[in-house]
Every structure is written in C-alpha cells, then in structure tokens.
C-alpha cells in the first residue's frame, strides 16, 4: 500500500521520525501548534537526512515530500498517524482525541509514548482497536529496532498494518505487552534514576558510572550518557508517569534529575546534562 | 591559476582551524581523524554543516560519504570541486 504518515509534534522525536519516513520514500504531514517549531523541524529534517545518508543508514537519494502544518484537517487523507508530543498524559489524551476525530476509521493511530499504557490512551480515541504504540529509539533513523506495544483492545488489523508500516520504514519491531514503561522503560528509566542517585550521593561520577556499564557490562552507552541523549526532561516526565501508575518509589525522580531539568539542562538537545555537549561529538 | 591555488589554501586553512578547534588537537591535511578515533561519525555531520555554511555549497547525493570527510585534504578537494574551481 502507499503509506502517507501524519506525525503529531515536531520536537526531537517527531522531526526525527519524519526524517526516517521521508528518507524511505514515505510522505509525511508534520503537525505542531507552533510555526517556529515547524520551521526548526524542517531544517533539522534536512540535516538529519544528510547525516543518515552519510552514515549509510538511509537511501542516498529520493526522499518523499514533507508537509508541515498547524491544521489537523490536513491529516484527513493519511494512512497512519504517529503521535510524538511531550510525555504528558493529559496532553497525549487531548491530541489523540483530536486526531481520532479527523482521520478515517481504520487509520492506524500510533503513539510514540515512552511509558503511558496503550489501554489508558485508548480511552481517549473514538476507535480503541485502531490504536497501538511504537516506542522509537532516538535517533530513529539510525536505530533499526523499535518496541511495538499491543494494547488489550488493539485490533488484529491494526497490528497487521503496523507490521506493513514498519517494513516500509525498514525497522524491526519487537512486539511486547502493555503496561507502564512497557519493557524498555520499565527497566531503563529506573536504571537512569538509580545512576543519577549514585552521582547525587557522590559514590561515583557520571563518567565512572558509564565507564563501568560500558567497560564491564559491554553496554554501548552507559545509563547517564543515554539519559543525556533521550533528554532529561523526557526522563523526568517518564519517571513521573511510571511513579504515578505503579506507586513504586524507585521511579520517583531523584533530586539531581529534577534540579537539572529545572536549570534547563536537558542533555544533548540543550548542550548540557550529565555531560557537556557541543564540541566534537 | 594562482587565484585557484590561493582559494584552496584558504579553504584548507579554514577547515584545519575548524577541526582543530573542535578536536583540540593539531592535524596535517592528510591525517585521517576518523581512523585516529579522535571523533565519532557524528562529527562528520558537523563538518557537513560547517562546509555548507562557510563555503556556500551543498553537499548531497554521492558526495555524502564519510570518505570525503576523513582528512582536511579530501574536504578541500570536495569544496573546490563543488565551487567549480
């Protein structure tokens, strides 16, 4: 089938998902409430296309069209929607309800949530059977594997369409069950929180924590460098989602994480988090 | 001819200055900074952005390969060619 994807939210993930799609020849309608964010995203997508091609991760030529808009009505003819707005449950609920009213029945609605259960978001859409989640890693145009979450109300037809969509995007889906944080973030967010707590206690520096995971355990990137890549704002939002839904104190964002976010130090995207960024990457 | 040589020398000078500022190391035009492990492939992207904005060229298609960005010499050749010099 000829895919045409609507992407909601032109932040870090929304823009990068748009890059992945148009780089594979799948046209994208990118929606955001803010024109400046859209203008910035258009520039980022151009650069990311170059980066991915330079690294041999996307076909060298032949990208599809990218349309940017602030009007949900422009989503009327898309074949699927990927929601990538900020990890705030009430915002996701609002956006999903809105888009569900615009697209044709049978249009797959995918949330790129970090941690909110699919079945919780399903309450916000007109047709819960059309909804599932795909947890893309950052950056999605470089990392092939994605976590695919099937909610209890997700339909077979939706799962089959998602498989088709991921094939068009040349991604490998790992299908898992529903619940706060799914598989990756149920474990990863807790690890990041604990690693940050260790730094807060003064038991180890960020460099030492990451060096131990990288050198001793063979992780490609340690938990705190991973946190900087994800964005500490998103880490704290995801931890709150997990904490609110599980009551597990291990997910309560530690003071150091909260302080960094309050100071505007979100990691790579602002130039500073647990590490300084901006020089040679 | 003389003009073109001077252009290449000026391109090389600016590229060396950029790379040295970002790696905090000194390089010759033939040193491969990727092979030396001094930078990650993400650095190649910074080089693309720098080259496009500084020399008013667009790097695209078959030119978007890491081999074009391994050394200051290879980048100088690329820029000279894209500027039609």
- Please tell me the predicted confidence (pLDDT) of residue A281: 39
- Please tell me the predicted confidence (pLDDT) of residue B2: 45
Q: Which residue has the tokens 């990288």?
A: A214
Q: With beta carbons less than 8 A apart as the criterion, state whether A116 and A89 touch.
A: yes
Does the CA dihedral A59-A64-A70-A74 come out positive or negative?
A: negative
What is the extent of the structural domain holding B40? 2-82
Least CA distance to B38: which residue of chain A? A280
Least CA distance to B67: which residue of chain A? A54
Please compute the mean of the pLDDT values over residues A202-215 and round it to a whole number.
97
Task: Kindly state the tokens that stand for A84.
Answer: 């990538």
Contacts 24+ apart (CB under 8 A), A272-277: A273/A224, A273/A227, A273/A228, A273/A232, A274/A196, A274/A199, A274/A206, A274/A224, A274/A225, A274/A227, A274/A228, A275/A206, A275/A224, A275/A225, A275/A228, A277/A228
Please compute the mean of the pLDDT values over residues A26-47 and round it to a whole number.
96
Cβ within 8 Å, pair B48-A55: no
- What separation in angstroms does the CA of A250 have from each of A116, A221, A244, A253? 17, 22, 11, 8
pLDDT for A37 beyond 70: yes
- Please tell me the predicted confidence (pLDDT) of residue A247: 98
Q: Which of A41-50, A161-170, A182-191 shows the lowest per-residue confidence on average (mean pLDDT)?
A: A41-50
pLDDT for B5 beyond 70: no
How far, rounded to the nearest angstrom, does the alpha carbon of residue A51 sit from its chain's CA centroid?
Answer: 19
Which residues in chain B are closer than 8 Å to A143, comparing Cβ atoms? Answer: none
How far, rounded to the nearest angstrom, does the alpha carbon of residue B82 sit from its chain's CA centroid?
Answer: 12
pLDDT for A62-116, tens place per residue? 899 999 999 999 999 999 999 999 999 999 999 999 999 999 999 999 999 999 9
Which residues in chain B are closer than 8 Å to A281, comparing Cβ atoms? Answer: 39-40, 42-43, 46
Q: pLDDT-derived band of residue A280, with 50, 70 and 90 as boundaries?
A: very low
- Please tell me the predicted confidence (pLDDT) of residue A6: 98
pLDDT for B16 beyond 50: yes
Q: pLDDT-derived band of residue A279, with 50, 70 and 90 as boundaries?
A: very low
Tell me what percent of the residues of chain A surpass a pLDDT of 90: 94
Which residues in chain B are closer than 8 Å to A280, comparing Cβ atoms? Answer: 22-23, 38-40, 43, 46
| Residue A139 Cα, gap to closest chain B Cα (Å) | 12
pLDDT for B27-84, tens place per residue? 999 999 888 776 776 788 889 989 999 999 999 888 988 889 999 999 999 999 999 8
Q: What is the pTM of this model?
A: 0.87
Please compute the mean of the pLDDT values over residues A256-272 and round it to a whole number.
96
pLDDT for A144 beyond 60: yes
- Please tell me the predicted confidence (pLDDT) of residue B46: 86
Nearest partner of A9 among A188, A253, A201, A234, judged by Cα: A234
CATH number at residue B37: 1.10.1200.10
- What separation in angstroms does the CA of A64 have from each of A24, A26, A99? 7, 6, 23
Tell me what percent of the residues of chain A surpass a pLDDT of 70: 99
Number of other residues whose CB lies within 10 A of the CB of residue A243: 19
With residue B46 as reference, give the H or E element that holds it: helix B41-55
Please compute the mean of the pLDDT values over residues A250-255 and round it to a whole number.
98
Strand partners, A176: A149
- Chain A residues with CB under 8 Å of a chain B CB are 47, 50-51, 53-55, 60-61, 279-281
Catalytic residue numbers of A read: 135
- What separation in angstroms does the CA of B83 have from each of B51, B56, B66? 11, 8, 19
Q: How many domains does chain B have?
A: 1
pLDDT for A263 beyond 50: yes
Please compute the mean of the pLDDT values over residues A221-240 and round it to a whole number.
96
pLDDT for A176-201, tens place per residue? 999 999 999 999 999 999 999 999 99
- Chain B residues with CB under 8 Å of a chain A CB are 22-24, 38-46, 48-49, 59-62, 64-66, 69
Domains of chain A: 5-176 (3.40.50.720), 186-262 (1.10.1040.50)
pLDDT for A278 beyond 80: no
Side-chain half-sphere of B48: how many Cα atoms within 13 Å?
25
| Residue A81 Cα, gap to closest chain B Cα (Å) | 29
Which residues in chain A are closer than 8 Å to B39, comparing Cβ atoms? Answer: 280-281
Q: What is the ipTM of this complex?
A: 0.74
Please compute the mean of the pLDDT values over residues A127-146 and round it to a whole number.
96
């Amino acid at each position: 089938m000829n895919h045409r994807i609507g992407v909601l939210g032109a932040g870090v993930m929304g823009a990068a998902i748009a890059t992945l799609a148009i780089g594979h020849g799948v046209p994208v309608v990118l929606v955001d409430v803010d024109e400046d964010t859209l203008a910035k995203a258009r520039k980022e997508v151009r650069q990311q296309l170059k980066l991915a091609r330079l690294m041999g991760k996307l076909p060298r030529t032949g990208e599809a069209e990218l349309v940017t808009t602030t009007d949900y009505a422009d989503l009327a003819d898309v074949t699927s929607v990927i929601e990538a707005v900020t990890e705030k449950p009430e915002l996701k609920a609002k956006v999903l309800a809105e888009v569900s009213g615009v697209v044709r029945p049978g249009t797959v609605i995918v949330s790129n949530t970090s941690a909110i259960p699919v079945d919780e978001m399903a309450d916000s859409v007109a047709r819960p059977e059309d909804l599932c989640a795909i947890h893309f890693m950052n950056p999605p145009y470089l990392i092939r594997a994605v976590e695919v979450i099937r909610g209890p109300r997700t339909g077979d037809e939706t799962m089959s369409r998602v498989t088709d969509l991921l094939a068009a995007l040349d991604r490998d889906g790992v299908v898992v069950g529903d619940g706060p944080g799914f598989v990756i973030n149920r474990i990863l967010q807790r690890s990041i929180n604990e690693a940050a707590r260790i730094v807060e206690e003064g038991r180890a520096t960020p460099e030492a924590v990451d060096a131990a995971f990288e050198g001793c355990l063979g992780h490609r990137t340690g938990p705190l460098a991973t946190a900087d890549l994800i964005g500490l704002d998103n880490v704290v939002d995801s931890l709150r989602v997990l904490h609110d839904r599980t009551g597990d104190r291990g997910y309560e964002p530690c003071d150091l994480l909260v302080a960094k976010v309050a100071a505007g130090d979100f990691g790579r995207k602002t130039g500073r988090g647990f590490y300084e960024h901006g020089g040679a990457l | 001819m003389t003009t073109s040589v001077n252009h290449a020398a000026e391109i090389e000078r600016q590229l060396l200055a950029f790379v040295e500022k970002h790696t905090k190391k000194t390089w010759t035009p033939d040193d491969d900074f990727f092979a030396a492990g001094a930078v990650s492939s993400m650095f190649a992207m910074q080089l693309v952005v720098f080259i496009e904005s500084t020399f008013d060229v667009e790097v695209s298609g078959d030119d978007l390969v890491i081999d074009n960005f391994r050394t200051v010499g290879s980048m100088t050749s690329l820029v000279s060619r894209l500027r039609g010099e």
